[in-house]
Amino acid sequence: MSKLTKPEGYHALLDLKQTEIGIKKIKDFFLSSLSTELRLRRVTAPLFVLRGLGINDDLNGVERPVTFPIKDMGESVAEVVHSLAKWKRLTLAEYAVNPGFGIVTDMNAIRADEELDNLHSLYVDQWDWERVMRREDRNVAYLKKIVRKIYSAILRTEFYIYETFPQLKPYLPEDIYFIHSEELRRMYPDATPKEREHLICREHGAVFIIGIGGRLGDGQEHDLRAPDYDDWSTPNEEGFEGLNGDLLVWYPVLGRSVELSSMGIRVDKESLLRQLAIQHKEERCSLYFHRRLLEDSLPLSIGGGIGQSRLCMILLHKGHIGETQASIWPDQMRRECREAGMMLI
């Protein structure tokens, strides 16, 4: 069932024309800033991949990909991508990208099982990026370094939009706060993972939660992750686990935290085998992507996705993601949004 939050006293600070101008400016400026910070080259990406190669992202493992048969390929089945986490790593190998450099692309996807609300849509658009790294950099310190670079690009974009539209006052903090999901659980033991995110973001403004996918001290995961892209089961120097995480900010318009990016250091051969065993999915070792990784023919990498429409939404102070992207919404939600001053595209 879809859910809708109606921000009390909401008033769009930009009209439809200004909004479209703002979306264009954000997408152009942020992509340039991100590419400069991480030394990324833009590449062209697929909308769909063949089923059975292990290339599509399985997300939480329960979402159904949109599929269709290909008439000219013997009715082989194609899947619309959920994200490009694995495809990007194959592309790094194909382009022979050197350590310290990477790729970035516009990822467009359809997630038919998404529960629709102010932040979730059937249509997903991300900047998907991936960067080659050295083995000695597979640690939490390097992860934090990359996160800070991404957050710097977000802050620069916020200021750029403020210069263009002075009514959009900056509100993001100068620094981003890091915390492990197990530390967060101990801090708020009686709260759900989502409630913990709201509480820590309300306190610090911008937070990166480390360690998404592994079981915590209560036997539960902070959130689910597929076993074959992010490394969430490697112990770090603090005694916790995980080399991945989520970047969230406190969003005053909705009075809640908003996830802008999921990212992490990718699995190597050892962590892939360990995580497949944890989730009892060892049969994936026979798939094309997994064979390439186990054969050491893919580079070590770090990567992630950054929501385009979500970033536009929070920097343009919008109440609903449908104000910054065109998608399909239930008729009742469209009516309620219009009554609340949220004009969906």
Which among 302, 258, 308, 18 is positioned nearest to 117, based on CA atoms? 258
Active-site residue among 33, 35, 57, 158?
57
Active-site residue among 35, 89, 111, 182?
111
Active-site residue among 130, 158, 246, 268?
246
Phi-psi region of 319 (alpha: psi -120 to 50; beta: other; left: phi over 0): alpha
The yes-or-no answer on residue 113 being catalytic is: no
162 three-state secondary structure: helix
The yes-or-no answer on residue 259 being catalytic is: yes
Name 27's bridge partners: none
Give the neighbor-by-neighbor strand order of the sheet with 48-50.
Answer: 48-50, 76-80, 67-70
Identity of residue 268:
D
253 three-state secondary structure: coil
Asked if 111 and 124 touch (Cβ cutoff 8 Å), the reply is yes
Could you tell me which residues come within 8 angstroms of residue 238 by beta carbon, excluding any fewer than 6 positions away? Answer: 140, 180
The yes-or-no answer on residue 262 being catalytic is: yes
Q: C-alpha 136: how far from its chain's center?
A: 25
Tell me how far apart the 2 most distant CA atoms of the chain are, in Å.
57
Could you tell me which residues come within 8 angstroms of residue 166 by beta carbon, excluding any fewer than 6 positions away? Answer: none
Active-site residue among 83, 121, 126, 309?
126
Active-site residue among 114, 137, 223, 259?
259
The yes-or-no answer on residue 126 being catalytic is: yes
Which residues belong to the active site?
A: 57, 111, 126, 246, 259, 262
